[in-house]
Amino acid sequence: MPHDCWNQIGVRGDRTCPTLETVIHCQNCPVYSQAGRELLDRPAPDDYLAEWTTRLAGDRLQQTEETLSVALFRLGTEWLALPSDVLRQVLPPSPVHSLPHRRDRVLRGLVNVRGQLLLCVALPDLLGLAATSGEAAERLPPGSYARLVVMARGDETWAFETDEFYGLHRCPLPNMHAAPTHASKILATLTQNILHWRDQHVSYLNRDRLFDTLQQQTL
């Protein structure tokens, strides 16, 4: 009997095997089962164990590497990040309506977000970021990337405008470093770490410090 009789005279062959009348299908035949056991019991290639040991060890290292999920955005030429869990919505720019009898550089006014009126703040003014110069603006990517971002902490919800919103990014913790001294004192106070992303130094803002400062500045 050929070693692969199921392909020759069995269900995948000409079906002339007399045993088919009893077992109906080759999968029910002892010969087929024995061939399967021999296939599974055959010795592994010499490099098989080493290859899979290396591969699984690499997967374990990758899985155990701690990362932080952040939302990346740009204000002028400054890249910043916030914890992704404060992010609620990212929308196209929307008109901001000033509050009557209120002149405040940080609190811009109210913005309508899907029927809900939210306080909209100017983060560049809050953070003390200088206006983008003409020369610096020329280095920025062409096109309109401005977005309205809605963030929240508990019941506190704020909206702010960005010149560009990149999206979510998982940053390995080894890529985060202590924050250096910024030209802006308030930005230095609110920056928890500096993370490196695409050759950029990104200021990772402390969520609680930011929300507390917004409350103080807009009372």
pLDDT tens digits, one per residue of 8-66? 888 788 888 888 888 778 888 888 888 877 777 777 666 666 666 666 666 554 555 68
Contacts of 112 (CB under 8 A, 6+ apart): 94, 95, 97, 118
Task: Count other C-beta atoms under 10 Å from residue 155's C-beta.
Answer: 5
Greatest mean pLDDT range, 39-43, 149-153, 177-181, 192-196: 149-153
Residue closest to 176 by CA, chosen among 204, 206, 210: 204
pLDDT higher than threshold 60 for residue 153: yes
Q: What type of residue sits at position 99? A: L
DSSP classification of residue 84: G
pLDDT higher than threshold 60 for residue 136: no
- Please measure the distance between the N-terminal and C-terminal CA atoms of the chain and give it in whole angstroms: 91
Q: What type of residue sits at position 67? A: T
What kind of fold does domain 67-218 have according to CATH? OB fold (Dihydrolipoamide Acetyltransferase, E2P) (2.40.50)
Residues spanned by CATH 2.40.50.180 within the chain?
67-218
pLDDT of residue 36: 76
- CB 87 within 8 Å of CB 211: no
Task: Count other C-beta atoms under 10 Å from residue 203's C-beta.
Answer: 23
pTM passes above 0.75: no
How many Å apart are CA 111 and CA 167, to the nearest integer?
Answer: 21
pLDDT of residue 140: 52
